[in-house]
Amino acid sequence: MARLTKRKLLSVLRDAFGDVEDALEVMPERITGAIVSSAFDDMNHEQRQKKLKRVLREKLNAIELQQVSAIVGLTPAERYVKA
């Protein structure tokens, strides 16, 4: 099976969202985590997730998509907010 690299995933995300900071983690079989971008500033959580999902579906093949777990989109202001 072709492995999705973090580098490729970040390239796809940066093409779509511009100034992406990554807080992604490469697990044995998946990539998960968060990305931070000012592109999310005017979006609510649902809008962010829909946009992420659409971008990933358009830019990754089916095998690569299976290797992506949950990715959360955060604004720069949310980057350091403690839960």
pLDDT of amino acid 1: 61
Neighbouring residues of 32: CB distance < 8 A, sequence distance ≥ 6: 24, 25, 68, 69, 70, 71
Residue 81, pLDDT > 90, answer no
* Global confidence as pTM: 0.90
pLDDT of amino acid 80: 82
Tell me whether residue 68 is in a domain: yes
Side chain identity at residue 29, one-letter code: E
Alpha-carbon distances of 56 from 33, 42, 81, 82, 83, rounded to whole Å: 14, 20, 26, 28, 27
C-alpha to C-alpha distance for 64 and 76, rounded to whole angstroms: 27
Show the domain range for 31: 6-78
Tell me whether residue 1 is in a domain: no
Tell me whether residue 83 is in a domain: no
Q: What domain count does the chain have? A: 1
Chain-centroid distance, C-alpha 42: 17
pLDDT of amino acid 44: 97
Question: Mind listing the pLDDT tens digit for each residue in 3-33?
Answer: 999 999 999 999 999 999 999 999 999 999 9
**Mean pLDDT to the nearest integer, 48-55:** 97
CATH number for the domain harbouring residue 62: 3.30.300.90
